[in-house]
Amino acid sequence: MNILILTPDRVGSTLLQRVTTVYANMNEPADKLTINLHELTNGIVSYKNEKFNRTVLGKKHDKWGYWQSLEQVVDCLSTHDHDKISRLAHYHIKSRGDSLSDQLSFYQYLNDNFFIIACRRQNVFEHALSWGIVAESKKLNVYSHAEKFDVMKDIHTNGINIHPDAFNRSLQQYQDYIEWVDRHFLVNAYYEYERDLPNLENFILGLNPFKGVQSPLRWEDKFDISWADWNRMHYLLSLVPFDYLFTDEEKEFMKTNIDLYSSCRVFIQDLVQDGIMVSGIPIKLHTLNEKAKIVSNVTQCLENYNKWVRLAPPSVPAVTYSPTILEETSQMEQLSWHKTVDQTNASLFGNTLPDFKLLKSDLQQLPYKFKPNNS
């Protein structure tokens, strides 16, 4: 199975490609090999893999960068017969500066040879908040609990302010990404973070490349812990260094599942050491509730976001939000990770301006009655 994931980043694309690779390796026959190359356009190399006694593609730490032409990337992909799971980030394409002719030839090869998944977010407001935090942390993903603490401890303590121009730039980049996908790719499936993350296992095993697998193994079949529980453990344990006050339910949950979680991490680390994946599975950085606590000007960001939605073309799937809707969304997500609601977020999204003023930014300049669009 050759799978390509299109991404603007901050949409769960690294999680998707890593977890898809684990399921592929769990379910493929012994004579098949699937390797996750991560990003296609910033350096892939051919090398002899001693574990599998064959020449394969992969990443090498001293070979990251834009040193290959797109034609050379295609040559690498076409001359190695193992299956590949990879991603193509729009911002890498823009940074490379290849000619349009070279880009079009590259896109044609990908369309002809890969099952293509395009990542999207329904909550583009949260997507832009995430980019604001990345600009401060300088890290797209973290893979260990200690790394998350080192990267985020000062941000959690001091908070950040996202400059309006930087926030608006993230929104524009998302719009550019959507238009790029629609213009150049024959998309086979859409991965929408809010819809598909809660059911990630079903999403992956329901993809056409997995249709030929008879009775595919699920996470729990392999590791004796469900994917949802494993990923919840991955997140909750990352809160330990922050002295998070766990509930009794969370304490019991972690105590019950710690051994199963750890043995699964050993399996994943073996995939990394064997050259199957570049890294392990990324840890969830923040819930929407946590982001709202970190970003001191979250209300201003919401006002700017609603203005952007009003001006965005119909091709961009984005909706306006009121503080009330965001609070409800935040609480639903909180329940999925913590099984309880954080009552301290009651005014995080509207502590400066009332709802009507925030939503006013979404009004068309027409003489009809104020009617916020929350549908």
Check residue 348 and give its pLDDT: 57
Residue ranges of domains in the chain, CATH in brackets: 3-273 (3.40.50), 288-360 (no CATH)
Of 374, 363, 370, the residue nearest 326 (C-alpha)? 374
What's residue 60's pLDDT?
A: 81
Q: Which residues contact 264 (CB under 8 A, 6 or more apart)?
A: 223, 225, 230
CA–chain centroid gap for 248, Å, is 30
CA distance 247 to 250: 5
Q: Alpha-carbon distance 75 to 134, whole Å?
A: 33
Q: Which amino acid, one-letter code, is at 225?
A: I
Q: 83: which 2 tokens?
A: 């299956």
Q: CA 34, CA 86: separation in Å to the nearest integer?
A: 10
- pLDDT for the residue numbered 63: 76
* CB distance 220 to 245 below 8 Å: no
Its pTM stands at 0.90
| pLDDT at residue 167, rounded to an integer | 97
pLDDT of residue 299: 94
Residue 45 gets the label, from left (phi > 0), alpha (psi -120 to 50) or beta, of: beta
Q: What is the pLDDT of residues 265-283, one digit of tens each?
A: 999 999 999 999 999 999 9
* Residue 342 pLDDT: 67
Q: Which two tokens stand for residue 247?
A: 């509930």
The pLDDT of residue 343: 57
Cα(107)–Cα(71) distance, rounded to whole angstroms?
Answer: 11
Residues in the chain predicted with pLDDT less than 50, given as ranges, are 346-347, 351-375
Q: So what's the pLDDT on residue 339?
A: 85
